[in-house]
Amino acid sequence: MAERKPVIITPQQLEEQRAYMNEILNLPQRPRSYYVVTYGCQMNAHDSEILAGMLRDMGMDEAPDRENADFVIFNTCCVRDNAERRALGNVTWLKEVRKRNPNLIIAVCGCMIQQPGMAEKILKQYKFIDLAFGTTNLYKLPELLCRRLNADRAVVEVEDVDTIAEDLPVKRLRRDAAYITIMYGCDNFCSYCIVPYVRGRERSREMEAILAEAQQLKDSGVKEIMLLGQNVNSYGKGLEGNVTFAELLRRLDAMGIPRIRFMTSHPKDLSDELIRVMGESKHILPQFHLPVQAGNDEILHQMNRRYTREQYLNRVRALREAVPGIGLTTDIIVGFPGETEEQFQDTMSLVKEVGYDSAFTFIYSPRTGTKAAAMENQIPEDVATDRIQRLIALQDECQKKAMARFVGMEDEVLVEGLSRRSKTAVSGKGRHGVSITLPGSEADIGEIVRVRVTEIKNNTLMAERT
Ligand code: SAH
Ligand code: SF4
Ligand code: F3S
């Protein structure tokens, strides 16, 4: 792939979008309420917060549900086939809602739209979609919506450029915890993965911009920030000066935000320096999401992951040494083309050996345009299903064992909400990323509470307040 330079959206371009917002505010036929439906990963969740921020600034209120909104946006994911089918199914269903509300405007954006040929497909096959845009021109929502409101035909715009847009409006889902995207895109081209094709080349935000956003969040009382990127470990590539993720973490740690987390980390780029910073830090939480994908060297090679099982295990050991008791989680794919039962057993043995706190397990899903989709020996669905069931059963067992280390431990919980099982209990995440339930009430939501873990009940950590 040719070198591409990131395109920084200028203040003047953002000013233009502001002008479109104002134009919309003056249109009599403008939508008054919106609803954003989000699929996919945290990046998409944060993009949806930005969409909501722009819609708020265009005078719209959030509707209670999608049936009662004037403007519905689907922010889509295409990482696996089922994500895509779910999104399209739901969009099509809205056609019925349109019959009751003829003024309903339906928009679709996100990764699915960024796939080659998708814009043409929407114009031809999904004529009821009013507005479609990709991941890199999200900041243009005001302009695109304005065009749609002024002309009675679909507006579809997808751009194949790698943009970075700073200072966009944002309406955050939570007051106590916030996402900060630190980098966009991905250059790794794992052979099964569509993300590099739909999120463009890897590019990092300037460190000063990230620090300023973090400071602002801290000043507004945010207690936890989550740094986002497809491969946060390679943050800084292409920026001037010797900027690294470890350095960014050190600077953020010094700011005094109570809790700092990040995802996702690629094992091949996990440096000793980063592990050291984690060990020395005050506020970086003792947790690490380190997707392994497979436990067999040949499969890892075919996946283009660029590490071996042993190198991965070495990183796990280094993390555990620097941060004792660290919470480890992972992503695993079963049924990659050509995966034999024996190779699958290597994944099983790795899961046992590491003892993850949790694992996200997926059946390999061929994605058009990726290298693996063209590979021979695609695995039959029943074989892959059987493998994932065995993997999930094993992980459940390992998880139970891993949880035992928390009993008796002192911890801090950022309370997220009332417990589902009891009205006098609340739950949230401990410092290791594991859910903990404790006695409490609505007043605790958004607060950090000190606890001691007392027991494991129904696979959940139960704690008392200290
Ligand atoms: N950038 C992150 C995660 C990206 S997508 C990383 O490198 O880990 C999240 C997870 O989806 C991946 O870790 C992988 O396990 C899974 N995934 C990606 N493409 C997939 C595919 N084609 N089929 C099944 N699972 C897939
Ligand atoms: Fe996909 Fe690999 Fe990039 Fe993750 S690192 S987004 S799995 S290509
Ligand atoms: Fe899906 Fe796009 Fe995230 S494909 S997983 S929403 S980067």
Instruction: Give the domain ranges of the chain.
Output: 7-161, 174-285, 298-406, 407-465
Q: For residue 36, what is the DSSP state?
A: E
Q: Which fold has domain 174-285?
A: Transcription Regulator spoIIAA (3.30.750)
Q: How many whole angstroms from 191 Cα to the centroid of ligand 2?
A: 9
Looking at all shown ligands, the one closest to residue 363's CA atom is: 1
Ligand 3 atom nearest to CA at 42 = 3
pLDDT (0 to 100) of residue 328: 98
**What average pLDDT does the chain have?**
95
Mean pLDDT of 293-310: 98
Fold for domain 298-406?
Answer: Transcription Regulator spoIIAA (3.30.750)
Q: Is 266 in the pocket of ligand 2 (CB under 6 A)?
A: yes
- Identify the band that residue 122 occupies on the pLDDT scale cut at 50, 70 and 90: confident
Q: What is the mean pLDDT of residues 299-325?
A: 98
Higher model confidence: residue 421 or residue 330? 330
Average pLDDT over residues 302-327: 98
Query: What is the model's pLDDT at position 2?
Result: 57
Nearest partner of 312 among 246, 262, 356, judged by Cα: 356
Ligand 2 neighbourhood includes 231 CB (under 6 angstroms): yes
pTM, two decimals, is 0.96
The b-or-e profile of 355-376 (16+ CB within 10 A means b, else e) is: ebbbbebbbbbebeebbbbeee
**Predicted local confidence at residue 115, as pLDDT:** 94
User: Are 174-285 and 298-406 equal in CATH topology?
Assistant: yes
- Nearest by Cα to 226 from 168, 145, 285, 184: 285
Q: How far apart are CA 170 and CA 141, in angstroms?
A: 13
Pocket of ligand 3 (CB under 6 A): 40-41, 43-44, 77-79, 111, 195, 198-199
Long-range contacts of 254-258 (CB under 8 A, 24+ apart): 255/211, 255/214, 255/215, 255/218, 256/218, 256/283, 257/214, 257/217, 257/218, 257/222, 257/223, 257/224, 257/225, 257/283, 258/223, 258/224, 258/283, 258/448
What pLDDT was estimated at residue 152? 81
Cβ–ligand 2 contact at 193 (below 6 Å): yes
Q: Which ligand is nearest to the CA of 188?
A: 2
Mean per-residue pLDDT, 348-352: 98
Q: Residue 33: how many CB atoms within 10 A of its CB?
A: 16
For residue 3, pLDDT over 80 is answered with no
Domain covering 7-161, topology: Rossmann fold (3.40.50)
pLDDT of residue 98 exceeding 90: no
Are the CB atoms for 91 and 74 separated by under 8 Å? yes
H/E element, 50: helix 42-57
Question: What share of the chain has pLDDT > 90, as a percent?
Answer: 88
- Mean pLDDT for 287-292 is 98
Q: Tell me the chain's radius of gyration from C-alpha atoms.
A: 23
How much distance in Å is there from the Cα of 66 to the middle of ligand 1? 29
Superfamily of structural domain 407-465: Nucleic acid-binding proteins (2.40.50.140)
Lowest average pLDDT, out of 85-89, 256-260, 450-454, goes to 85-89
Q: Ligand 3, residues 41, 42, 80: which to mutate, most atoms within 8 A of Cβ? A: 41
pLDDT of residue 260: 98
Looking at 136-287, list the stretches that DSSP marks H as alpha helix, in order from N- to C-terminal side.
Answer: 141-150, 195-199, 207-219, 245-255, 272-280
Both tokens assigned to 184: 């966009």
Q: What is the pLDDT of residue 273?
A: 97
Q: What is the per-residue pLDDT for 397?
A: 97
Phi, psi of 392 (to 5 degrees): -65, -40
Contact at 8 Å (CB) between 438 and 411? no
Looking at all shown ligands, the one closest to residue 362's CA atom is 1
